[in-house]
Amino acid sequence: MESTPQATAGHAVFETVIGFMGIAWSKAGLTRLCLPQRNRDAVERRLLHHTGSAASSAQPQWVAELIASIKAYAAGEDVDFSGVPVDLTGVDDFRLAIYDAARKLAFGETTTYGELAKRAGHAGLARETGAALGANPVPLVIPCHRILAAGGKIGGFSAPGGSTTKEKMLAMEGVRVGPPPPAQVSFGF
């Protein structure tokens, strides 16, 4: 279960260098984060669908700071989101454990679904961990993009753009996933 719309205090849509993003919050913390989309309306619709809340010009200080941090991240800066308050009301204990373990991953640090499950106290539940991360309401703050499939493969990603978005986010953090670039054939001299 996810946070109820009644618990949501407001939401904001803002532009970053990689597209429009949005967040929703309650009095207890962040309830939803929408990764980049090409236009403001798409993010607005997504937030309204999930939260039912209206945009709010009255933002708590931590919300204004989070928006500034997300813009800095989108511009390529190393940002630590581990201190952002998150409201995960209604989320089951398994997902809470997975999300807590994922939040401990630093900028540019990756692990596998299986290893994350183990760190969360649920060894052997890699598939269930992937499903839990697919339901993550606040990607980036709970950095599900930093979790890879076995063998260093990219794995799935439920955000708009799918695995391509995940790969781009990892590249922003200096992580290269996939086959190495082709060798240079000629130096041209």
Q: Which residues are catalytic?
A: 144
**CA proximity to 44, closest of 80, 14, 76:** 14
DSSP category for residue 95: H
Distance between CA 148 and CA 158 in Å, rounded?
13
DSSP category for residue 7: G
Is residue 34 within 8 A of residue 51, CB to CB? The reply is no
Is residue 21 within 8 A of residue 34, CB to CB? The reply is yes
Distance between CA 150 and CA 81 in Å, rounded?
26
Is residue 99 within 8 A of residue 132, CB to CB? The reply is yes
Is residue 42 within 8 A of residue 26, CB to CB? The reply is no
Q: b/e per residue, 91-117, with b = 16+ CB within 10 A? A: beebbebbbebbbebebeebbbbbbbb
